[in-house]
Structure 1
Amino acid sequence: MLMTVAQSVLPPGGPGPLPAVLMCLPALPTIGLESLFRTPAIVTLAVLALSIVVLMTITLVQTHHSELIPPGLKYGVVLDAGSSRTTVYVYQWPAEKENNTGVVSQTFKCSVKGPGISSYASDPQDAPKAFEDCMQRVQQQVPAHLHRSTHVHLGATAGMRLLRLQNKTAADEVLASIQSYFKSQPFDFRGAQIISGQEEGMYGWITTNYLKGNFLEKDLWHMWVHPHGAGTSGALDLGGASTQIAFVAGDAGMLNTSDAVQVTLYGYTYTLYTHSFLCYGQNEAQKRFLASLLQNSSSGTHVTNPCYPQGYRVTVPMGQVFDSLCTAQQRPATYGPLRGIAFEGTGDPWLCREKVASVFDFGACRGQEDCSFNGVYQPKVQGPFVAFAGFYYTASALNLSGSFSLDAFNASVWSFCSQAWAELPLLLPKFNEVYARSYCFSAHYIYHLLVHGYKFTHETWPQIRFEKEVGNSSIGWSLGYMLSLTNRIPATSALVRLSIPPPAFVGLLTFFSAIPLMSLAFLAFLCSVSRTEKRSEHPLKHTVDPATSQSSAAASGWATALSGADCRQHSPASPPLSEPCSSCPCHPGRGIEAPGLGQDLPPLPHSKGVWEMQGFGGDAEQG
């Protein structure tokens, strides 16, 4: 094909003298632009350049202007079945995950009316009825076409842990009733389970650090990346029936096996110390405190309480104090579930602090730096901490939030606990009798737990932040639980919408890739022809007879003039001349007038060698 193209651009009758511009590109500077523009090479070069530009353009358009179609969102629902209430959370995350963990955000929260599910031990079939209102609202929050693919998990905490220890059959019946209810829901229910105290502490730590941005942050290109040099925060959770502490210990190798747990999120692994203290939630701790007051009272029915506000009186049945596994061993001999106990508040903050210390067994850790209370091992606390749930609500009642000093905390506690009962409605925006009477006890309890238990000092206390939520997400174990579950939920890849359909792109790529190849091949062919012509530019330069070397210049000049003379070249094959040879300008016996030169050239030498070198053949006499 290339030979055919070459023949179409060459003059007929042979290759002829082609300009030197058709030589290879390294020789172009020696040729001159005037010759270049008179050749097919310039057209070929233009086509080559244009095709390369088009090829690069369509490639850039295809790679840089393609539309990334997000794979959409996935949803998950977690029911936090605590000891005092149940809260429903709806979470969502992009279906395409970051290092196998979803980037989860809370989109909805609903508090179930009524007590915690452990309160339905005697009527387990009634436990799920309270969920109806919240679950109807959840159906509105999750798109209908995603209901079947949305996982629902119920996690029960310390309240159900206590019930299982006290009455396993009742605990199982409550969970079975809940599972039966969710089978009628349009969601993918993954079961109701009682999570351990260690899991509760771990999930609370995950939530805390996720919301604090210690796992992920967006860079300048809005991509999720692990923060450079990011540390972590410890988590302090105070529930109704238990309290948890979790943090990354300085020397993980020194941790006891029972208190060490590894967490892998977003491609990073963390080793935590986490411990849960059952019966040390603020509700169960207060029951134990009231039981101790009754034990130390001279009266079996009337007890003074230094932690209740002055002027407050209440009578509670013994069953409300002693029906828990946490206080079962403190039951008096005169115990009767319906028998009433009258408590009268005195509002004495000094005595309250002294009495609350009896809830803990600090003596079991006397002289041990790596021990909290009750003989439980704990490494030294370090770094920032976030205190949530009961910690936050108590601090908020004291008009404290965020970070503050231990002295500021004590001053607020003394001020609040010195108030009379009649003054509390003015101090508390949302007044609730049960909560209002308990805040003073909770404040002193938090002091002993953090200072004498976890060993926070005046220097390290300000590193604690008392918070309820970050952004629109509540701090608690449920978000960490959802994050952990997303590690097991398969990711969905993003789709790419190309600017040019694949078949058309392949066709264009092939076509505009072939053009440069053909152009280069054609240029290579022209270079080859040009080099051949240059080597044979004039035969006289290569086959001169030594015997006739003196007449070479004359022969060369004659040949040049002959090509422009107004006559035919004579050869043995030429027809006879129509006029005498003496008048023919080509006659070898006379000079040839070179047109435009005004002078005659010397007579053509009658050398046989010259004629043969010119390719005429035969004797010179035959001309």
Structure 2
Amino acid sequence: MASKRQMGYKCRIAGVLLLLLASIAALVAVAVIQDTWKFKEYSLEYGIVIDSGSSRSNVYLYEWPGEKQNETGVVTEIMNCRVSGAGISEMKVDPQKDEASWNGFRECMRNVTKAIPVEKHKTTILFLGATAGMRLLHEKDEEKSDEILGSLREYLKTLPFNFQNASILSGQEEGLYGWVTVNYLMGNLLTKNLWNLYANPEGEKTIGSMDLGGASTQIAFAVQEDLRGPDYLHVKLYGYPYNVYTHSFLCYGKNEAGKRILDKIVKESSDPSYIINPCYPEGYNVTMMASEIYDTECTKKPKDYNPDRELFMVGTSNSDKCGSLVKSIFDFKTCSSPQCSFDGVEQPPVVGEFMAYAGFFYTARALGNEGATDLITFNNSVRKFCQSHWTVLRASEERKMISDQHLKTYCYSGHYVFAMLADGYKFDKETWKNINFQREVKKTSIGWSLGYMLSMSNMIPSEVKEIPPLTNPVFAGLIFLFSALTIITVVFVFVFLIRACY
């Protein structure tokens, strides 16, 4: 009788011990799940960047989760509003054109204001960045450029947003911010590791960036850390260092390059009333004013310059002649460094993949080369376009959305892009395949504006580092120790229970 009582007592003790261990295990499991699986809800934040280029302004509206280092590392573009009217560098000349530009700004900002919740207006950051058009104006007339920016600042301050600044970007800044944008959107700068911490993707290669605007063009790509010079910028993004080569060529934008080519065509002609233009399609003729070519710092005015002089251009679709004219605006020979692009500018060899956007994309698309292609195919498409009659180009289904103003330019711009990439940047048959002509990534426009916003709003911190309470080796060791003790304890209790009960 006593032995049965003793056995019952031991069974109860063992049962209590098992219940206690199970309770502890359940408590720990619930605590861990509660900590690691908890749901976080963040409100959306907003940022506005106005890209004021040489030919037009665009207003970009971005949104991102309040948790700045979101897992995808992608800020979403939710609006891109093109401001009607000319570029801001043409302000303070014609009051009617100025009014059209101001109306364009007001319309875009009204649309942007409606897209942002009212309670978020005061915290929405707003920037305006002016690029090559204003850089040229600043060189020509600093007082006028300051006056234009001053007027824009006064207007932007009246908006219900957190206005930061309106300034002129340097060419290097424009190139670097474009590079940041491309790699940020492609997910090359940030990812989460095994410990759920943000880190640079191990072994991830960055992508080079090539931007073609109206007044300038930029190239930027990461290189070896030991390379030094005025065109090398050392930046630290998310705690990881990069050495980025970036150079901007002023007066080599698509529009300014076109004016320089037209200048050469005019100088070769003795009769301004009948100028043969090999870069215009046969069947396309146009009368333009001399000011359309020479009212810029990028072309040298002739001695007998008259801005109101009429120039009659006659297209002849001569691809070879047009190609020769285009190459003549570059200097591919002068170089005092191991390797140069053009005009004596040092450049290391191009490596890795490249994203070519803005004017590069629109030119490639007009030629039928959107996306990736090869050097020979691109060159052949330029020749085919340049040898086509105007009526054929105008009637083609794939080009029906292109205006006459732009369609007439793609012969010279096709030769121009090819000469710059092949003869200038030294892309060959193999490396050309690494160029991807694109307008956007993940429904976000490619350009300097996103990279600019990220940098100016501290969305990209100088270093991202999270330190856990225990180092990884100590944490792993303790998990192993307590797991082993738990297993041993359960085994002993189970053996004790079996012996006591039977």
TM tier relative to shorter chain: 0.7 to 0.9
The correspondence of residues 397-546 of structure 1 with structure 2, limited to 5 A, is: 397-427=366-396, 428-487=399-458
% identical equivalent positions: 45
In 2, the alpha carbon distance for the partners of 1:323 and 1:147 equals 41
Which residue does 2:228 correspond to in 1? 255
1:86 and 2:20 aligned: no
**What is the identity, as a one-letter code, of the residue corresponding to 2:323?**
R
Counterpart secondary structure, 1:176: helix
Which residue does 2:240 correspond to in 1? 268
Rate the CA distance shift 1:488–1:400 in 2: closer, same or farther, 3 A.
Answer: closer
Q: Residue by residue, what CA displacement relative to the aligned partner does 1:546-585 show, whole Å, maximum 9, x if unpaired? A: xxxxxxxxxxxxxxxxxxxxxxxxxxxxxxxxxxxxxxxx
Counterpart secondary structure, 1:271: strand
**What is the identity, as a one-letter code, of the residue corresponding to 2:227?**
M
Q: Residue by residue, what CA displacement relative to the aligned partner does 1:351-376 show, whole Å, maximum 9, x if unpaired? A: 110111111122313x8641111111
CA RMSD of aligned residues (A): 2.6
1:294 and 2:266 aligned: yes
Query: Normalising to structure 1: TM-score of the pair?
Result: 0.69
Which residue does 2:43 correspond to in 1? 72
Q: Residue by residue, what CA displacement relative to the aligned partner does 1:384-428 show, whole Å, maximum 9, x if unpaired? A: 111111111011001111111111011111111111112221121
Which residue does 2:210 correspond to in 1? 236
Q: What displacement does 1:204 show? A: 0.8
1:341 and 2:311 aligned: yes
In 2, the alpha carbon distance for the partners of 1:154 and 1:368 equals 37
**What is the identity, as a one-letter code, of the residue corresponding to 2:281?**
P
2:149 aligned residue (175, 180, 186): 175
In 1, the alpha carbon distance for the partners of 2:115 and 2:347 equals 42
User: Is the CA contact 1:101–1:487 (under 8 Å) kept in the aligned structure 2?
Assistant: no
User: Is the CA contact 1:307–1:352 (under 8 Å) kept in the aligned structure 2?
Assistant: yes
User: Is the CA contact 2:73–2:185 (under 8 Å) kept in the aligned structure 1?
Assistant: no
Q: What displacement does 1:51 show? A: 4.4
Which residue does 1:143 correspond to in 2? 117
Rate the CA distance shift 1:489–1:423 in 2: closer, same or farther, 3 A.
Answer: closer
Q: What displacement does 1:216 show? A: 3.2
Q: Residue by residue, what CA displacement relative to the aligned partner does 1:403-454 show, whole Å, maximum 9, x if unpaired? A: 1111101111111111111222112121311101100000001111111111
Q: Residue by residue, what CA displacement relative to the aligned partner does 1:467-519 show, whole Å, maximum 9, x if unpaired? A: 1111211111111112223426899xxxxxxxxxxxxxxxxxxxxxxxxxxxx
The correspondence of residues 566-585 of structure 1 with structure 2, limited to 5 A, is: none
Query: Normalising to structure 2: TM-score of the pair?
Result: 0.84
Q: What displacement does 1:461 show? A: 1.0
Which residue does 1:619 correspond to in 2? none
User: Is the CA contact 1:318–1:338 (under 8 Å) kept in the aligned structure 2?
Assistant: yes
2:162 aligned residue (188, 191, 207): 188
Q: What displacement does 1:57 show? A: 3.0
**What is the identity, as a one-letter code, of the residue corresponding to 2:171?**
G
Rate the CA distance shift 1:121–1:325 in 2: closer, same or farther, 3 A.
Answer: farther
In 2, the alpha carbon distance for the partners of 1:170 and 1:294 equals 30
Structure 2 gaps of 5+ residues are 463-502
In 1, the alpha carbon distance for the partners of 2:393 and 2:197 equals 50
Which residue does 2:334 correspond to in 1? 364
80-89 or 295-304: which moved more? 295-304
**What is the identity, as a one-letter code, of the residue corresponding to 1:355?**
L
Structure 1 gaps of 5+ residues are 1-18, 20-31, 492-623
1:390 aligned residue (353, 359, 363): 359
User: Is the CA contact 2:278–2:322 (under 8 Å) kept in the aligned structure 1?
Assistant: yes
User: Is the CA contact 1:121–1:171 (under 8 Å) kept in the aligned structure 2?
Assistant: no
User: Greater Rg, structure 1 or structure 2?
Assistant: 1
In 1, the alpha carbon distance for the partners of 2:447 and 2:358 equals 7
Q: What displacement does 1:157 show? A: 0.6
**What is the identity, as a one-letter code, of the residue corresponding to 1:110?**
C
**What is the identity, as a one-letter code, of the residue corresponding to 2:39?**
L
Rate the CA distance shift 1:121–1:33 in 2: closer, same or farther, 3 A.
Answer: farther
**What is the identity, as a one-letter code, of the residue corresponding to 1:152?**
L
User: Is the CA contact 1:112–1:131 (under 8 Å) kept in the aligned structure 2?
Assistant: yes
User: Is the CA contact 1:201–1:245 (under 8 Å) kept in the aligned structure 2?
Assistant: yes
Aligned residues: 455
Q: What displacement does 1:185 show? A: 1.1
1:332 and 2:305 aligned: no
The correspondence of residues 610-621 of structure 1 with structure 2, limited to 5 A, is: none
179-188 or 390-399: which moved more? 179-188
**What is the identity, as a one-letter code, of the residue corresponding to 2:131?**
T
